Amino acid sequence: MSEHFVYIENQFFITSTVCNDTVIENKIGDALVHRIIRAHREGTQWRACIMIPLLPGFPQPLDHSDASSVRIILECQNRTICRGPNSIFSRLRKEGIDPDEYITVFCLRNWGKLPGNVLTTEMVYIHGKVCIVDDRLAIIGSANINERSQRGDRDSELASVIRDTDMIDGTMAGKPFKVGRFAHTLRVRLMREHIGVDVDAMYEEDLMASSPVQSDDDMHKWDPDHQEHRGAEEEITQYGEQKKATAKTEAFHEFKDSALQGLLFINIYCF
């Protein structure tokens, strides 16, 4: 059971509703509603943050004759989130709860400038399937939040459930709270990317500013003259502090070369 929040990124969000007399059976939406009702009754802070694409992926306009499936997806998502008596928002309002205090749905857009300083924008299509709970548990996989993935008798899906054991100090609801290093770092990185922060450059600066693992005195520069060299006739010559090649090492390299040639033959002629 989530104590403080759930962060979700998914390509779809169709759950626990009724659309065109079809019952959506997966229970993810029910779980969110029940958790919010519990938080409201207990007077505790809790939050669900959901990231989905603004529109399903489709190359044509929504009113195109071939876009009927896209329009159905949008209708099902609207029925899940805020439209009709079976939506998450309507069910919460029936309990006297303001949904905006507990659950928020976001879509992403990018922007740039064309020649002449003309602003342009486009949708960022979210394709990830990630769920992070309390910065302690992360579920990363292939399943969408819809009937095809969640029913269990349709598409085959795979997911990794990561329960962090490397705990670090964090803060939840204004109080100290132990969070998992991986789950917390993943969520913060995703959120920073979504607001336009160049996280790769930021992490590179942090890495460069960090102290080296070893002191300068303990680090040895690579000296190629002290490494093994192979001559033009595939004979081994060694320099510096290393000993000369023995008959055993020469036999080993001959065997390795023969094995590599055999593998090359298999790759070229058998596949």
- Summarised one tens digit per residue, pLDDT across range 117-163 is 899 999 999 999 999 999 999 999 999 999 999 988 899 999 999 99
**What is the residue whose two structure tokens read 């992403």?**
108
> Which of 76, 75, 73, 79 lies closest to 58, judged by CA?
73
What per-residue confidence (pLDDT) applies to 61? 83
> Which of 112, 120, 106 lies closest to 190, judged by CA?
106
What per-residue confidence (pLDDT) applies to 216? 59
pLDDT band per the 50, 70, 90 thresholds, residue 48? very high
Distances (CA, A) of 229 to 53, 130, 173, 246: 55, 48, 61, 14
Section 63-79 average pLDDT: 92
What is the distance between the alpha carbons of residues 53 and 144, in angstroms, rounded to a whole number? 12
What is the distance between the alpha carbons of residues 211 and 67, in angstroms, rounded to a whole number? 56
What per-residue confidence (pLDDT) applies to 268? 37
Q: Say yes or no to pLDDT of 210 above 90.
A: no
Residues 147, 73, 125, CA angle at the centre, nearest 5°? 100
Structure tokens at 207: 């890495």
Which amino acid is located at 64 in the chain? Answer: H
Contact 42, 161 (CB under 8 A): no
Lowest mean pLDDT among 21-35, 114-128, 129-143, 203-217: 203-217
Section 26-46 average pLDDT: 97
What is the distance between the alpha carbons of residues 245 and 144, in angstroms, rounded to a whole number? 58
Lowest mean pLDDT among 24-28, 67-71, 195-199: 195-199
Average pLDDT of every residue of the chain? 84
Q: pTM for this structure? A: 0.73
Contact 122, 110 (CB under 8 A): yes
Section 9-29 average pLDDT: 95
pLDDT band per the 50, 70, 90 thresholds, residue 245? very low
> Which of 133, 130, 132 lies closest to 143, judged by CA?
130
